[in-house]
């Protein structure tokens, strides 16, 4: 799950990431305080384009809600990191997703990421 949003001024970045995950995908769980990568992309805003810088914080999803704030605008889909990397448009995010499974295996062991 890779939600994107503005970091709330009163919240730590990881807490903002958890809030975005709830709003955009209806998922809850602990979020790592450490960023696992950054990337940038251009976003159309009004008649112009702005550059957005994104920090990615991993989340362990423990709860999937049936109803969430953006459930009528978004669809939650689970897939492997490799499949997700092939679906995203941003090259930087593709790189993060492509390497994240290997980083998980290194940190928590293969048994914890079987099937990802």
Residue 113's pLDDT band (cuts 50, 70, 90):
very low
Q: How far apart are CA 99 and CA 82, in angstroms?
A: 9
Cα 72 from Cα 38, distance rounded (Å): 29
Average pLDDT of the chain to the nearest whole number: 86
DSSP state of 10: T
Question: Which tops the pLDDT comparison, 42 or 103?
Answer: 42
Residue 110 to residue 5: CA distance in whole angstroms: 31
SS3 for 35-65 is CCEEEEEEEEECCEEEEEEEEECCECCCEEC
| pLDDT above 50: residue 37 | yes
Do 33 and 80 meet the contact criterion of CB atoms below 8 Å apart? no
């Amino acid at each position: 799950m890779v939600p994107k949003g503005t970091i709330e001024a009163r919240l730590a970045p990881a807490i903002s990431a958890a809030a975005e995950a709830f709003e955009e995908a209806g998922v809850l769980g602990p979020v790592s305080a450490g960023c696992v990568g950054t990337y940038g992309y251009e976003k159309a805003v009004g008649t112009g384009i702005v550059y957005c810088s994104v920090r990615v914080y991993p989340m362990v999803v423990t709860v999937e809600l049936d109803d969430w704030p953006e459930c009528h605008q978004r669809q939650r889909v689970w897939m492997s990191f490799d499949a997700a990397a092939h679906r995203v448009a941003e090259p930087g995010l593709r790189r993060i997703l492509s390497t994240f499974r290997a980083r998980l295996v290194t940190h928590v062991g293969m048994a914890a990421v079987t099937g990802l």
